[in-house]
Amino acid sequence: MRQGLKVLLAATLLGVPVAAAAAPVPYTALDPTAYQSFVGNWSPDSGPLCAVIGSQAQWDKVMRPAPLMGKTPAFGPPASTWDAHVVLLIAKVMPGGGVGSAFKPLSVQRTGDALDVSYRYVMPHVASYQIKGYMALEVAKPVAASVVFTENGKAVCSLKPGAGVWLSPAAPTP
């Protein structure tokens, strides 16, 4: 242990970059069925849509309301959410069979000013229709300068919300 501290101190004094350790970031997985909304279309839809949503305006740019007659469901998280949290969202066009188990969050890790959102994705059963399924994780602000979504061990999306790049590939269309 003492030798490790000496090496770390020597590296710091000599200006050698020291790799930062990844730290787990607490998150809450949002239930897609809790809101009467769906992800808007994006192009090309052969790849995922990734977003770091930090405001109601950004939520409204990605999500579309799906109102029902006679009900007043929530179309998204409460307004107070955006004061202290962001939503990390990954969406895919997929077969409609068994979509509830398609995404499984594994971890959110912070290394320096970067977040890695790691999840498992299993293609749902073949169905006669397709849907835009998504996984949304709520994490505390401030958001990191860089956010990478890692699916089954492979990076599929990289965003730079600190530089204004919070959505990829492009804004969904109505």
pLDDT tens for 110-166 read 999 999 999 999 998 888 999 899 999 999 999 999 999 999 999 999 999 999 999
Helix (H) / strand (E) element for 106: namely strand 103-111
Peptide bond into 44 cis (omega under 30): yes
Question: CA quadruple 71, 135, 130, 127: dihedral positive or negative?
Answer: negative
pLDDT for position 12: 41
Note the pLDDT of residue 37.
85
Q: What is the pLDDT of residues 96-109, one digit of tens each?
A: 877 678 999 999 99
Q: What is the pLDDT of residues 52-70, one digit of tens each?
A: 999 999 999 999 877 766 6
In this predicted structure, what is the pLDDT of residue 65?
79
pLDDT at 22 over 80: yes
Q: Are 85 and 140 in contact (CB under 8 A)?
A: yes
Residues sharing a CB contact under 8 Å with residue 11, sequence separation 6 or more, in sequence order: 18
Helices (H) and strands (E) in the chain, counts: 3, 12
Handedness of CA 58, 45, 33, 144 (dihedral sign): negative
Top mean-pLDDT range of 29-33, 80-84, 93-97: 80-84
Share of the chain above pLDDT 90, in %: 56
Q: Is the pLDDT of residue 79 over 90?
A: no
Q: What pTM was computed for the model?
A: 0.83
Judge contact between 31 and 77, C-beta under 8 A: no
